[in-house]
Amino acid sequence: MPIFLDSSITSEIKKFHKMGIIRGITTNPTIMFKDGVTGGMDGIKERSKEIADIVKPYPVSVEVMTNDRDGMIQQAKEFSKWATNINIKITAHGPNGELVNFEVVHELEKVHNIRVNTTAMMSAQQCFLAALAGSTYVSIFGGRVNNMGYNCCDEIQKLRTAIDDFDLKSKIIVGSTREVLNTIEWLNAGAHIVTIAPKLLEGMIVHPYTKETVQMFLSDAGKIKSMLNK
């Protein structure tokens, strides 16, 4: 399941889902705000359920809106009931480095049987610890890692080796995609999944030389038709 779409716009999700090229959806509060989701928690619930219904049985990641321990667990239990294919995003730690989050990840997976996507991670070591905690998905923000001045491919390779060596179940998601080339680059480095925005996914499909070639084919086909009609 190599490509997840990073969007909460239902028209975009339907378009690419009909093509058969996406295998899941990732969202977060920033994406939903940018995509114009309104109505507070009711609006998030409605949009999340709609997305889950469009792509089922493929997974949809929905992020909790708090970093309070009990609040995260309560919201995770509530959100996961919206649809059977919804999994829950939990950040690796709190805004000031609070360490309760991996405890929450472990409890959700092992006690409440809720699939978790541990997110906002920037290193192989963070992701490895999330995998040890039992997270179904571990998300490293590849574009941001590259922005910090080092190549995310190195982190992906180290992480994939560790996960395979210790026979951990977690799937590596690489997000924060910046360029069209990132998808194949990161999959080749060992990612199981890359999340990509709609515009970049379109960029993977449309190539200027393909456009030129198709235009030539159609032009020559028109000439053949003209000759046959004479």
Q: What is the mean pLDDT of residues 45-61?
A: 97
For 201-214, how does the pLDDT look when each residue is reduced to its tens digit (9 = 90+)?
A: 999 999 999 999 99
Considering the candidates 45, 49, 89, 230, report the single residue annotated as catalytic.
89
For the chain, what percent of residues have pLDDT higher than 70?
A: 100
Neighbours of 150 (CB within 10 A): 11
CATH number of the domain residue 82 falls in: 3.20.20.70
pLDDT, tens digit (0-9, with 9 covering 90-100), for 174-197:
999 999 999 999 999 999 999 999
The predicted structure's pLDDT at residue 90: 98
Query: Is there a catalytic annotation at residue 14?
Result: no
Q: At what angle do helices 69-80 and 101-110 cross, to 10 degrees?
A: 40
Residue with tokens 């405890």: 103
The average pLDDT across 114-136 equals 98
Q: What is the pLDDT of residue 229?
A: 76
**pTM as predicted:** 0.95
Q: What pLDDT is recorded for position 23?
A: 98
Tokens representing 145 are 């890692």
Please provide residue 213's backbone torsions phi and psi, each rounded to the nearest 5 degrees.
-65, -45
Domain that holds residue 153: 3-228
Tally of structural domains, the chain: 1
**Contact 55/24 with Cβ under 8 angstroms?**
yes
Q: Which residues pair with 194 in a beta bridge?
A: 3, 174
